[in-house]
Chain A
Amino acid sequence: MSDSPVLTQDALEAAHHAHPPYQRHHFETMDQQNDATNFAMWLFLLTEIMFFGGLFTAYLILRNWYYPAFVAASHQLNVYWGSLNTLVLISSSFTMAMGVWCAETRRKSGLVLCLTLTFLLGLVFLGIKTIEYSEKIEKHHVPGFHYSLQSFLNPASDPAAAQYGDKPLALDMARKTELYFFLYFAMTGMHALHMIIGIAILGFMIFRARAGAYTTGHVTFVENFGLYWHFVDIIWIFLFPLLYLISRHQ
């Protein structure tokens, strides 16, 4: 570990003379403060990994148990919406990364532009997600709320399933599709919740960025938010293949 904050005398001296307004009193130097908040953000992301870890575990076990049900149920997802959303999210990650760069190089208008783009892309993502959700609601594929097995017992009646030439599932296996949809809603819902929080913070940041708050050299907030945003992106990078893709061909 090479992070030991052994400070040289000069550094201390320098720090004492120039206390930027955003330096909190209990830090000796700005570097220390930035390192600390950055590290804290990473640790927070660790807790997020473990939080989603529980859901991934449940998904893997149940998928392994009820393979045909998971295959049939995943055919209900629209791979085009999913791919489009992946592109949207990756783009938003890119604009976010560019935003961080703009902040670091003190380009105010660039930063505002990037943040706004990220904000909008986030909204687009949620919009598409809403379309997808409403499809599920229409088809009664929301677990716990008048869940309907129609598409699985009689796939010929359902264009989404017919398109894959699905065979009807036995009743007991068809019932297990509810588990798939539960995990689908739990995972994407939890992800969407993170997006909503992120978008809210983005809105606040755009507001502050226009006042020039992040282009004076103090960029930790933007950077840390960037970490969060990319993390949410990574979760999606895994959700996309797990939920939409891996049973596509069957």
Chain B
Amino acid sequence: MSTTIVTLPDQSTARIPKMNYLSKENGLLSWLLTGDHKRIAILYLISISFFFFIGGALAGLIRLELLTPQSDLMATDTYNKIFSMHGIIMIFFFLVPSVPATLGNFLIPMMLGAKDLALPKVNLLSWYLYIAAGILALYAMITGGVDTGWTFTTPLSTHYVNTNVITTGMAIFIAGFSSIFTGLNFIVTIHKMRAPGMTWFRMPLFVWAHYATSILMVLGTPVLAIALVLVVLERTVGIGVFDPAKGGDPLLFQHLFWFYSHPAVYIMILPGMGVISEVISTFSRKRVFGYTAVAFSSVAIAVFGFFVWAHHMFIMGISNYSVLIFSLLTMLVAVPSAIKIFNWAFTLYKGSITFETPMLYAFGFMGLFTIGGMTGIFLGTSGVDIHLTETYFIVAHFHFVMVGGMLMAFLAGVHFWWPKMTGRMYPEKISQLAALVTFIGFNLTFFPQFILGTLGMPRRYASYPPEFQVLNVFSTAGATILGIGYLLPVLYLTWSLKYGEIAGNNPWQATGLEWQTQSPPLTENFVELPIMDHEAYDYEWLERQKEKEVASVG
């Protein structure tokens, strides 16, 4: 697999542009008070990576404990705290802000031809909220942790545990508002800040995906917020809305929680889908097959995503009529995802394909997300869900979509836009190796869990019957490989900041507006207001553009 697209500038003369958003101002304060969406994106990138590795270290502890059937490494309550904090950190402090707050923040204004997001101060505020929430969560973790699981099921979380539920709840509440402000900012920007000529159907699919995501963020997150407020009140004053002893209904909490948390899983996948559209189009040098279908399927996922939340409660005592409705709607929401997968596959058809690292991650995404998504169908099928729910099948399902799907997409995106963000290339060979390692490690870790789940091994178990051990050992071994696969990019990307080759404006010969300006970009993104005069993914336009340049220079 050789790199073929990259036409790096002549390395002997190439230099990073003197004026860029990184060099504009110096000093810590210039970062902490910045309104520049690109700098905020970098701040986010650093902070979410930090949280990812904390979550990852916790995952390592989970896997170590599960190496043997007994709970010998740690006591059961420690184990419970570890997987709870793993879930909470990974979801609220890593995956929800992962692509939107970093890549989305960095790229949406550039892709639209705007100078910044519509509300730069709100953008900075949302980062501060995120940091405040993160510190609070870490504080809760250090001073005793929380052992409710990431789902905070009542009445367990309200009356039966004495860990830091309130602190963690408040942390998630604040993180929620950070996410709301990000989403709100994106919607306003996409509506109001498009450059002349940038019509809705000329926007990159990445922007469409973020538009859909933002709708979910703005409309879903407040419901989580109120649910958490009620939990905190229940713990502090004992209000009783979720307390069966006082006449409340614990299931009401789950309704409110999943009303957010199901849409949240689409918050966690749609931006990744946006990345995949960009990557696949660029490396097959073709317009995305069925652009409108892909764009609308994002919106469809967002809208339908609001109607299916009770599929997390199939056996929890909701009415069976609800089960029917929610199972049916779950089937409907799965279709747009299938549409996307096939559209990406057909984008390759008659393309001119190269296999750089982002493309490898994208291929990984397609395979793993298909498996993850199809196992979602198992769970949406009410009858089968009875057997599979609350087992490792679910753990495998959501790690396939979240780690195999979104995390792969995130890595694809980080590699893809790394030259734009830093002006330097990552080392290609070793990064391809890392992609391969992650893929192998991932499958070894999580595929056995499907079998474990079908065999009946329950999730959130610190100890398990000995006959499940072999598959668990596979899983732990896989996690080790996976850990290495994730550590590698950190090392070589950091290395490349200093030693990477100079990338030039458009190393991938991609068509997005963000590639038509220098790397790293200016603080204002563009020297002059760009005018969008072509469709998205118009590679012929790019060819003509290059010819023009050659003609005018030569």
Contacts and interface: CB of A to CB of B under 8 A. Distances in A.
Interface of A: 1, 3-7, 12, 24-28, 32, 35-37, 39-40, 43-44, 46-55, 57-58, 61-62, 65-66, 143-145, 175-176, 178-179, 182-183, 186
A54 B247 contact: no
Given A7-B196, A47-B180, 19 more contacts: A3-B191, A4-B199, A5-B194, A6-B196, A26-B116, A26-B524, A27-B118, A36-B119, A40-B119, A46-B219, A47-B219, A50-B219, A50-B220, A54-B227, A61-B252, A62-B247, A66-B247, A144-B237, A179-B240
Contacts of B18: none
Interface majority SS (helix, strand, loop, mixed), chain A: helix
A176 B220 CA distance: 30
Contacts of A26: 114-118, 120, 193, 524
Nearest to A6: B196
Nearest to B214: A43
Contact of A39 (B192, B196, B223, B248): B192
Contact of B226 (A27, A54, A61): A54
Contact of B193 (A36, A53, A54): A36
A31 B233 CA distance: 44
B111 to A, nearest CB: 15
A32 B240 contact: no
The 6 lowest CB-CB distance pairs between A and B, nearest first, are: A144-B237, A54-B226, A26-B115, A26-B116, A51-B222, A50-B222
A175 B240 CA distance: 11
Contacts of B120: 24, 26
B75 interface: no
B529 A178 contact: no
B197 interface: yes
Contacts of B114: 26
B246 A43 contact: no
B227 to A, nearest CB: 6
A61 B247 contact: no
A51 B197 contact: no
Contacts of A46: 218-219
Contacts of A50: 219-220, 222-223
A5 B247 contact: no
A54 B256 contact: yes
B331 to A, nearest CB: 25
Contact of B191 (A1, A57, A62): A1
Interface in B226-264: 226-227, 230, 233, 237-241, 246-249, 252, 255-256
A28 B247 contact: no
Contact of B252 (A39, A47, A49, A58): A58
Contacts of B19: none
Nearest to B225: A51
B239 A186 contact: yes
Nearest to A28: B529
Nearest to B247: A176
Contacts of B237: 143-145
A32 B223 CA distance: 31
A108 B87 CA distance: 54
Nearest to A50: B222
A57 B255 contact: yes
Contacts of A35: 192
A7 B197 CA distance: 9
Nearest to A49: B222
Nearest to A34: B192
A93 B221 CA distance: 28
A182 B188 contact: no
Nearest to A52: B226
Given A1-B191, A183-B241, A40 B118 contact: yes
Nearest to A145: B237
Nearest to B239: A182
Contacts of B189: 36
B402 interface: no
Contacts of B191: 1, 3, 36, 39
B207 interface: no
B192 A57 contact: no
27 contacts: A3-B192, A4-B194, A5-B194, A6-B196, A24-B120, A26-B116, A26-B120, A28-B529, A43-B184, A43-B187, A43-B218, A47-B219, A50-B223, A53-B222, A53-B223, A54-B223, A57-B252, A58-B230, A143-B239, A143-B240, A144-B237, A178-B246, A179-B239, A182-B239, A182-B241, A186-B233, A186-B239
A32 B529 CA distance: 15
Contacts of B238: 143-144
A189 B42 CA distance: 39
Nearest to A12: B529
B211 to A, nearest CB: 11
A62 B242 CA distance: 11
Contacts of A57: 252, 255-256
A36 B185 CA distance: 9
B200 interface: yes
Given A43-B187, A145-B237, A182-B241, A61 B249 contact: yes
B239 A36 contact: no
A118 to B, nearest CB: 25
A1 B299 CA distance: 15
B200 A4 contact: yes
B188 A178 contact: no
Contacts of A28: 529
Contact of A182 (B196, B227, B240): B240
A178 B240 contact: yes
Given A6-B196, A36-B119, A40-B184, A179 B248 contact: yes
Contacts of A61: 249, 252
B552 to A, nearest CB: 24
A44 B223 contact: no
